[in-house]
Structure 1
Amino acid sequence: MVCSELELGISEEHEGVLLLDYAEFAGHTPGTPLQDALGEVVLDIELTPNLARCFSILGVAREVAALYSAPLHTPDTSLPVANGAGHINDAVHLEIREPSLNPRFTLGLVQGVTVRPSPGWMQRRLRLIGQRPINNLVDVTNYVMFEIGQPTHAFDYDILVERAEGNTPHIITRLPTPGEHLTTLDGKVHPLEPHFLLVADEAGPLSFAGVMGGLESEVQDPTDHLLDATGIPVEGEALPHGKASARPQGTQNVLLEAAAWDNINVRKVLSSTKMHSEASARFSRGVHPALALQGLGRGLRLLLEVSGGTLVPGVLDEYPQPPDPVVVELPVTEVRRLLGFDIQQAEIVSILRRLGFAVVEDSGNLLVTVPAHRLDIGTGVIGQADLVEDIARVYGYNRIPDTQIRDMLPPQHSNPALEREEAARDLLVGAGLREVISYRLTTPEREARLVPSGQSDSWGLGHYITLANPIASDKTVMRQTLLAGLLEIAELNARFQTRQNLFEIGTVYLPAQNGPLPEEPRRLAILMMGQRQQPAWQRDLRQSQNMDFFDLKGVVEALLVGLQLPTEAVQIAATEHSSFHPGRVLSCVWLGRLLASLGRCTRWCGAPLAWAWT
């Protein structure tokens, strides 16, 4: 039967039929099941974001080997023997200007490569993991990333020489200068913000460090087209005018990069640019600098294998601040205490070594050296807890014996503040209100809508607690009032029904009065709007009246009585508030302390008439 790859379930490729390389399958006799000949098994594994170490085939293999006490087979990541002329120090210069953001940068140069389709085995493996093969140069960088977890990037060396006007290229990792921009490989032009770390040369930016390459210096296929963010050609989109030296034979000399980047800075760039890629997914979670040279070695070996060429002797390896190995002192007694059962020291050592940790036994203490791929292991007490967690999961949670508690539970102390909040919730729900929960993150502009322009601010808004790395542009600061979020919810719900009785209990974040930390008081806000009676088919709503001050007053009084606050001690007085209608504002004072402000909201954009208590 003649089949396409789609019909065989190998990939989504449906044009043409699957052709097998005779040399690759010469050892199989006709009639051999295709599954046996291909010999590939695909495991669909769901990874949580904290398992960055498993974002590669090798990472998953480490875990499986540890669980089944099986030997781990690792690919050859050593640097290949150079067979070319000259030395890389004469071909390219390297400079790291921000070592805190770029702890390591390595380069290798392969000359005389031929751009062509990758071998069948590489194309099949890439398709099985959801990657579309492009050409042998691009495929090698993707293959190394998925195989060992180290992203790499290939530059067209001849383009770098042209940009240097025939001189030796000078690769620099730096922050941008004002007014710079970069065109990425998908053809989009990005203005550069001050925190965007760049790989550049003396002529300008080349790529976003750890995120995406630039169009100008990308390796060239003789049939080059624009690529999207995943490296897939964009149909009908040829390279735009301006890409340097689009030679008909494609790239001939490749400068291969493998580097390490600060994961926090990569996240900031992703938050600003939204340029998510497979490489940025790994760098944003952390890739140890020690893996850079391994990725370079593996990439150079595959480049020589699938594209020919010769390796220029030497590699450039800038590693200005190598981190000290993480060593955790782990007492065996602490392992047993945290796990709650007696586990033998020999089994603890065996599990840790199977996971790749180096262990030195010192009587009842273990000195555990953390491998480079385990960036999630901390130091001190935190490191001990991390190691015990690894021991428990490999040992098997199902093997942990059940142990009944040997004593009575100690008396549990009550939490009066929490109990009062729960009582308030029950009272308000019983009065017909619905609780809402809004985001604690907002923007100053959203809360500024509470204060009309030209009027004094009754809230005292300002000096917000600002997030260093906000998750979204509309969530940059911590809120200082509940009313803004409550009114936004009512404004959205008003499209469907005007009658709304809402409340929210939550934390607000005010500037610090004493000490470095902000004040975090709990607040209650109530909003009532629309008709007094619930709509019903037998009721003429034209006769129904809108809720007014007395509806809200009744709810507040019921709340105070339910919380056993004497209403006779509450003083009600007219006042003014910037968020409420003039002449429609009351203050509630209890024992000389301002309890709340109650008023009529008419200034909120698009919101119907509403009464609020906050």
Structure 2
Amino acid sequence: MLVSYEWLKDYVEITETPEELARLLTRIGLSVESIRGSGDDAVLELEVTTNRPDCLGHLGVAREIALATGRKLSPPPLSYEETADPVQSLAKLSVKAKDLCPRYTARVVRGVTICDSPDWMKRRLSLVGLRPINNIVDVTNYVLLEYSQPLHAFDYELITRHHVIVRRARPQERMMLLDGTEARLPEGACVIADAVEPIALAGVMGGANSEINSDTDTVLIESALFNPVSIRRTARALGVSTESSYRFERSVDPVGVDLASRRAVRLILETAGGAAASGVLDTRPKPFKPVKTKLTLAGIRRILGMDVPAEKVEPVLAGLGCSFKKSGKSAWSVANPSWRPDLAREADYIEEAARIIGYDEVPERVALSVSPVTRTPQERAETAIRNFLLGAGFDEVLTDSFLTKREDSVFLTWSSAEPLTVANPVREGQDVLRRSLIPSLLITARHNFNHGAEKLSIFEVGRVYLSRPGEQPEEKIVLALLSTEGLRTVRGAVDGLFAALHAEPFEWRVEAAAGPGLSAADTLAARSSGALIAVMGTLPPDAAAAFDVKRPAAVAEIALSAAAERIREPKYTAPARFPAVERDVAVIVDEALPWLAVEQAVRKTAPEMLAGVRFIEVYRGKQAGPGRKSFAFQMIYRSPDRTLTDGEVNAAHQRFLDA
């Protein structure tokens, strides 16, 4: 926000130099980014936070200066002479989208002369970055920069039947905007129309079919309050941002709508002549209702850790524009002004008192209780997971949460319910909130393969978004892994991760239907009380083709909450005192049978002295036969209290082979 030093003096006495004023404004929360001199004036560039749209105008900044210095604020004059003709006899107003336009006002000025604005107005507009156009348009821009209230001036004679209609845009509706572009209006966007067609895109930009021109004799001045969300969506859908949309997106003062309109009419009469019709077309439904809050000295002490006397609090409340009534000796009932909707709680007023009195007055050491910050098991698990997988040779990736409908439909690990969608996606077509992290990893893998990567092992800890009919959507934090090194690499990483976390391992089972989008032959799943908590498998050709991934890959997806719940306090286990005895085994099985099924069968039928099973390799070839494969693995025998003899091991091993 650019403000003119001399312009501010119209509303409040300023004895400080521009540099001193910059320090004052920064101290009370309006950070001054730079100061630029221009002749006998100076321009201050302010950083205005989103909760202070009132400071997007010179009057709002002047109000802050008056508050900080205790000086009087002098708002600009608003009165002007009116003719006997009521505006209701000249124009008609209909609001058909009251949710998008809570308030709309219109005034009419006849007999204006279109010419250049006075030098003082052109100079001020140019200083703060706006190009002077003509006296009518310049007045609307001037009042915008004064009141932070966008206005628009229509050529009254170009409004069909002089009927202003506020409505939603119709399907396939188009209009030519003031910047010369023809826009296809987003369906449902708020538009200002006449009896035939749109004449302005509400809160964003006017239409070329009703703009002020050299032949304009009568103007209709619009000042309105539009729904901030609607304006933001419309501006983003069209890829435009204007001074008006910037302010409407942050909301404007509902009472200031009429004040700005009156100010504009007065300035038009001064700079363009003419006569103003009496009255105003106004759809204001109800008077502004402030939010009432109780403020106490005890509350101030509790938050700031210091005593603030009542004689310091009341000037702050008055300077903010609040109405207040004292309740006893140490409390007030406070109502916020219309331009400060952010003042809704006692803490908000305490913050205002602190910034005006000065944060340097708050003692560095205060007697406040401090609650130690503790990390949840899930947060600790996330950190441990990242550290382990990075050490295991995986790279972490961070992806956004939006996919196309086609990308999202391939993997339905956690839910097959309809996906959540957004109305205005950041990128065209990517309007679905992901239901699985695997598509995001495949998109990342494709990008890396297209840039020359040969091998890839990546992981992500992120959120998936699941719709639940009749309930609030669920956000699930998930760990996903992808590796071109094969399913055993992914399985080994997951098993090693659980060992490093001291977590109870999952009981993996072959479950073809658990991972839609994965190869049915080797999909492994883990469940808890029947609910799926983890899945892993290889990528089948059709899923790889859907993401244009030309290398084989294995993936896994794990609910992080389930992993965190399985973490146990580590317990010391003494190293084995007695040596192990190994026996190698090779079995020929059908091609479709995964290693997990063989491992589970071995553990189920093996003798008690079996301490472990170690996979060695898989063989496919002539000796195994067509449609068959051979698994080679090692069986490890050990006793916890003695050394096993070869005879004991051989006998136990033979019983296993005969089983």
| TM tier relative to shorter chain | 0.7 to 0.9
Q: Separation in 1 of the partners of 2:223 and 2:480?
A: 54
Contact 1:99 1:320 in 2 (8 A): no
Q: Judging changes above 3 Å, is the alpha-carbon distance between structure 1 residues 65 and 500 closer, same or farther for their aligned structure 2 residues?
A: farther
* Deviations 1:173-192 (CA, angstroms, capped at 9, x unpaired): 12234453322222333334
Offset at 1:291?
Answer: 0.9
SS at match of 1:420: helix
Q: 5 Å matches for 1:239-250?
A: 250=215
- Structure 1 window deviating more from structure 2 (111-120 vs 41-50): it is 41-50
Number of aligned residue pairs: give it: 515
2:358 corresponds to 1:403: no
The correspondence for 1:484, drawn from 432, 439, 451, is 439
Amino acid at match of 2:134: N
* Deviations 1:101-129 (CA, angstroms, capped at 9, x unpaired): 22222222222211111111111111110
Offset at 1:281?
Answer: 0.8
Contact 1:286 1:375 in 2 (8 A): no
* Deviations 1:549-571 (CA, angstroms, capped at 9, x unpaired): 3332332221122123456x744
More strand by share: 2
Contact 1:52 1:286 in 2 (8 A): yes
Q: 5 Å matches for 1:250-329?
A: 250-329=215-294
Task: Give the corresponding residue for 2:481.
Answer: 526
Task: Give the corresponding residue for 1:239.
Answer: none
Q: Separation in 2 of the partners of 1:412 and 1:286?
A: 36
Q: Judging changes above 3 Å, is the alpha-carbon distance between structure 1 residues 39 and 302 closer, same or farther for their aligned structure 2 residues?
A: farther
* Deviations 1:473-509 (CA, angstroms, capped at 9, x unpaired): 5554432111111111222232333332211112322
- Structure 1 window deviating more from structure 2 (273-282 vs 574-583): it is 574-583
Offset at 1:41?
Answer: 2.1
Q: Separation in 1 of the partners of 2:528 and 2:223?
A: 66
Task: Give the corresponding residue for 1:51.
Answer: 52
SS at match of 1:106: strand
- Structure 1 window deviating more from structure 2 (476-485 vs 339-348): it is 476-485
The correspondence for 2:340, drawn from 365, 374, 379, is 374
2:456 corresponds to 1:500: yes
Amino acid at match of 1:523: V
Task: Give the corresponding residue for 1:217.
Answer: 210
- Structure 1 window deviating more from structure 2 (365-374 vs 190-199): it is 190-199
Q: Sequence identity, in percent?
A: 32
SS at match of 1:216: helix
Contact 1:571 1:590 in 2 (8 A): no
2:303 corresponds to 1:331: no
Task: Give the corresponding residue for 2:471.
Answer: 516
Contact 2:486 2:538 in 1 (8 A): no
SS at match of 1:583: helix
Amino acid at match of 1:54: C
Task: Give the corresponding residue for 1:98.
Answer: 97
Q: Separation in 2 of the partners of 1:490 and 1:85?
A: 74
2:148 corresponds to 1:149: yes
2:175 corresponds to 1:182: yes
Contact 1:589 1:595 in 2 (8 A): yes
Task: Give the corresponding residue for 2:68.
Answer: 67
Q: Judging changes above 3 Å, is the alpha-carbon distance between structure 1 residues 578 and 307 closer, same or farther for their aligned structure 2 residues?
A: same
Q: 5 Å matches for 1:194-233?
A: 194-221=187-214
TM-score (norm 1): 0.77
Amino acid at match of 2:183: H
Contact 1:358 1:369 in 2 (8 A): yes
Q: Separation in 2 of the partners of 1:506 and 1:445?
A: 20
Q: Separation in 1 of the partners of 2:496 and 2:341?
A: 55
Offset at 1:326?
Answer: 2.4
Larger relative contact order (CA 8 Å, sep ≥ 6): 1
Of structures 1 and 2, the larger Rg is shown by 2
Q: Separation in 1 of the partners of 2:363 and 2:407?
A: 54
Offset at 1:90?
Answer: 1.6
Amino acid at match of 2:376: N
2:353 corresponds to 1:391: yes
Contact 2:125 2:132 in 1 (8 A): yes
Amino acid at match of 1:599: T
Contact 1:176 1:192 in 2 (8 A): yes
Task: Give the corresponding residue for 2:512.
Answer: 575
Aligned Cα root-mean-square deviation (Å): 2.8
Amino acid at match of 1:427: F
Amino acid at match of 2:466: L
Q: Separation in 2 of the partners of 1:174 and 1:102?
A: 9
Offset at 1:273?
Answer: 2.1
Q: Separation in 1 of the partners of 2:224 and 2:529?
A: 65
2:309 corresponds to 1:344: yes
2:502 corresponds to 1:564: yes
Task: Give the corresponding residue for 2:548.
Answer: 606
Offset at 1:413?
Answer: 6.0
Offset at 1:279?
Answer: 0.6
- Structure 1 window deviating more from structure 2 (554-563 vs 212-221): it is 554-563
SS at match of 1:505: strand
- Structure 1 window deviating more from structure 2 (35-44 vs 504-513): it is 35-44
Offset at 1:469?
Answer: 6.2
Q: Separation in 2 of the partners of 1:115 and 1:516?
A: 58
SS at match of 2:120: helix
Offset at 1:341?
Answer: 1.4
Contact 1:441 1:476 in 2 (8 A): yes
Offset at 1:216?
Answer: 0.8
Task: Give the corresponding residue for 1:131.
Answer: 130
* Deviations 1:350-397 (CA, angstroms, capped at 9, x unpaired): 11212222222221221212111112222xxxx212222222222222
Q: Gapped runs of 5+ residues in structure 1? A: 1-9, 11-34, 222-249, 452-456, 530-546
Amino acid at match of 2:360: N
Q: Judging changes above 3 Å, is the alpha-carbon distance between structure 1 residues 280 and 551 closer, same or farther for their aligned structure 2 residues?
A: same
- Structure 1 window deviating more from structure 2 (580-589 vs 206-215): it is 580-589
Amino acid at match of 1:319: R
SS at match of 2:475: coil
Q: Separation in 2 of the partners of 1:404 and 1:305?
A: 57
Q: Separation in 1 of the partners of 2:374 and 2:247?
A: 45
* Deviations 1:263-303 (CA, angstroms, capped at 9, x unpaired): 12212222322232111111111012211111111111111
Contact 2:445 2:456 in 1 (8 A): yes
Q: Separation in 1 of the partners of 2:502 and 2:333?
A: 59
SS at match of 2:333: strand
Amino acid at match of 1:134: I
Contact 1:154 1:255 in 2 (8 A): yes
Amino acid at match of 1:81: E
Q: Separation in 1 of the partners of 2:259 and 2:508?
A: 74
Task: Give the corresponding residue for 2:655.
Answer: none
Q: 5 Å matches for 1:111-130?
A: 111-130=110-129
2:553 corresponds to 1:553: no
SS at match of 2:444: helix
SS at match of 1:118: coil
Q: Judging changes above 3 Å, is the alpha-carbon distance between structure 1 residues 517 and 203 closer, same or farther for their aligned structure 2 residues?
A: closer
The correspondence for 1:447, drawn from 402, 408, 411, is 408
- Structure 1 window deviating more from structure 2 (131-140 vs 469-478): it is 469-478
Q: Separation in 2 of the partners of 1:355 and 1:51?
A: 12
Q: Separation in 2 of the partners of 1:469 and 1:390?
A: 36
The correspondence for 1:436, drawn from 390, 397, 415, is 397
* Deviations 1:197-253 (CA, angstroms, capped at 9, x unpaired): 2212212221111111111111113xxxxxxxxxxxxxxxxxxxxxxxxxxxx2111
